[in-house]
Amino acid sequence: MGHAFASAWSPDGKTWRQTQSGKKGAEGQMEYQLPPGSASASGRVLVAWGPPYSPAKAEEWVRQTGSEHRMAEEMELCRSREGRRVPMLRISEGDRVPERRFGVWVHARQHAWESGSSWVCQGFVEWVMSADVGAAWLRQNAEIYVVPVMDVDNAATGNGGKDALPQDHNRDWSEKPNWNEVAAAQKILKGLAAEGRLDVFLDLHNPAPGDLKAFFYAPALELLQPEAKAFKRIS
């Protein structure tokens, strides 16, 4: 039996709310009910499987974060194959030189339709910028790169991106990547690795509909340094 999930709706494309769980109708259709007065003054209401996160939203958020926080630098990872900007943040606080900082890389949306991962990415940065003791320690001791949308072209045009031709973004990590975003990310990551400080690589994805628990992939034990092995728990 399939799971009945809620949908997202918005009168203005800015404030999003969730419906109650949908009801399966005839011929596999799903029915969702919206509360009275859901539409805007013009009679418009937007509906999506989840709150969208467009490349324009990513660019606006990166720009705003960079302007509001001295420790956050607005950057451009690259231009996509279709000429779109790929916004990126670089976060570090204090006088510690980069060579003495942990290297942390976080990106989302290698598959364009997995918009939830961009929201998680933004939430991570909001925590990093917070007064939390752990967040303060991280930004003072690490150099953090954040890319909220990797596959900007498919995200902009509304394509899924999964199994895209000639190469899925998520499978493009090779000696000769097809996508500009992957090639640009590899350049920075290889630089961190050469300096011996590629410490965290976090690739955010959406779970599948049947994945009701979070899961993580971690390197094999033989690839970890002794300090990292001490933190890895085998279940």
The pTM for the full model equals 0.85
Instruction: Determine if the peptide bond prior to 166 is cis (ω within 30°).
Output: yes
Residue pLDDT, tens place only, 20-73: 888 887 777 888 888 877 777 777 888 888 889 999 999 999 999 999 999 999
Q: How many CB atoms lie within 10 A of CB 100?
A: 9
Interval 144-160 mean pLDDT: 95
- Give residue limits of the domains in the chain: 8-48, 55-206
Position 229 confidence tier, pLDDT thresholds 50, 70, 90: confident
Q: What is the mean pLDDT of the chain?
A: 89
65 close to 127: Cβ distance less than 8 angstroms: no
Q: Where does the pLDDT of residue 196 fall: very low under 50, low under 70, confident under 90, or very high at 90 and above?
A: very high
Beta-strand relationship, 8-10 and 17-18: antiparallel
Give the homologous superfamily in CATH for domain 55-206: Zn peptidases (3.40.630.10)
pLDDT score for 1: 35
Using the structure block, give the residue that is written with the tokens 């109708």. 25
CA atoms within 13 A on the CB side of 161: 25
Per-residue model confidence (pLDDT) at position 170: 92
Bridge partners (DSSP) listed for residue 75: 88
Q: Which residues of 206-231 are buried (b: 16+ CB within 10 A; e: fewer)?
A: beeeeeeeeeeeeeeeeeeeeeeeee
Matching residue, tokens 């003072």: 140
Question: What tens digit of pLDDT does each residue of 86-125 get?
Answer: 999 999 999 999 999 999 999 999 999 999 999 999 999 9
Could you write out the DSSP letters of every residue in 109-149? Answer: -SSTT-THHHHHHHHHHHHHTSS-HHHHHHHHHEEEEEES-
Distance (Å) of CA 10 to CA 51, 119, 195: 9, 16, 46
